[in-house]
Amino acid sequence: MIKRNIYKSVLGAIVASSMILASVPVMADTEVQKYTNTDFAMDTVVSETLYTTGDDLNASIGEKLREVETGLLSWTESDSQIAKINSADGKTVEVSDELAGYLRQICQLAEDSDGAFDPTLGQVIRLWDIEGENPHVPDQKELDALIENVNYKNIVLDGNKVTLKDGATLDLGAAGKGIGCDVTASYLKEQKDVTGMILNLGGSSVMAYGEKPDQSPWKVAVTDPRDTEGDYLGAITIKGGEFLSTSGDYEKFFMEDGKRYHHILDPKTGYPVWNGLTSVTVVCDNGLLADGLSTACFVLGLENAQALLEKYDADAAFVDEDKNVYLTSGMKERFELMKNTYTIKKIK
């Protein structure tokens, strides 16, 4: 069994070096200054580039992201609101306006994707332990028993009151980094001095805010799913106010008998999704939705995902095992291919 610890150690090195360097201001023009920083939050590396006429806010943004994790989303921190819902044994729990709003968006997306995106996979995810110490193919009986309780309809929302069916477990892992991007975007809107920012959470969720001093576009690199440490597959242009998210079978996985067991699961079977896709990248105007949609589209597959993307007015790039890249019409204008081993194909 092979696990990708190299990735983690490289990330660790980046974090360690950034702690020594701290934020580095670079004069961009007479007024606006550029501050870059690398931090660790929401279980991932956070890269921040901020343009402002005021103070460097990168440290407070890192702090905000850690608060979202510990106060709202974490399933391990017993004080988080999600952990409280999970341990309520079917009783109703009152949550903050903020979390209630996110849960409404999440349940709507679960419904719109016909359950391809399902936030109640918690226990099934724990069983596979793909991100943990003992990733393994679970016993089928154990898996079947847990799948019984996987259904987004087991969440009942009534304003700020949340009732989760006893036995079901919430896991917002597929939307958490997107929520982190949304929280940052709202914070920046209150900061009058900030003119632009690009925030990248672990390479899989990105927020662009405002613009750069030279007004050149924000560009986000797309990882080659089968060459994650090598050259990028492409680049995608996004505007201030847009969010990008990638879900890929290369982010967290283990190999066994030549099969790739990865972290994006089909809620119907509890097994990793094997439909030929290796990654899906989505761009839209909301962080939670970009994140949730990339997971949902990965599960739905190329053809079934198109109606969902249209409904949310989102653009997407689908990459498959045969090294094809399928672009929605809106994505064609944004996407720049950087590797000639891949071919851009039409979506039928």
Residues near Mg ion, by CB under 5 A: 174, 247, 291, 294-295
Binding string, residues 213-252; x marks residues near ligand ADP by CB under 6 A: ----------------------------------x---xx
Interaction between residue 69 and ligand ADP (CB under 6 A): no
CB atoms within 10 A of CB 24: 11
Interaction between residue 168 and ligand ADP (CB under 6 A): no
Residues 6+ apart with CB under 8 A from 224: 230, 231, 232, 233, 339, 342
Q: What is the bridge-based pairing of β-strands 155-158 and 324-327?
A: unpaired
Of the candidates 312, 286, 126, 269, the one whose C-alpha atom is nearest the C-alpha of residue 205 is 286
In the structure encoding, which two tokens stand for residue 250, read together?
């290369």
The DSSP annotation for 214-281 comes to T-PPEEEEE--TT-TTSS-SEEEEE-TT-EEEEEETTSSEEEETTEEEES-B-TTTSSBP-SSEEEEE
The least distance separating Mg ion from the CB of residue 117, rounded to whole angstroms, comes to 8
The least distance separating ligand ADP from the CB of residue 169, rounded to whole angstroms, comes to 11
CB atoms within 10 A of CB 99: 22
**Closest to Mg ion by CB, 194 or 201:** 201
**Closest to Mg ion by CB, 51 or 128:** 128
**Closest to Mg ion by CB, 249 or 291:** 291
The least distance separating ligand ADP from the CB of residue 136, rounded to whole angstroms, comes to 16
The least distance separating Mg ion from the CB of residue 301, rounded to whole angstroms, comes to 16
Instruction: Provide the binding-site residues for ligand ADP, judged by CB under 6 A.
Output: 117-119, 121, 125, 171, 173-174, 177, 204, 247, 251-252, 263-265, 267, 291, 294-295, 299
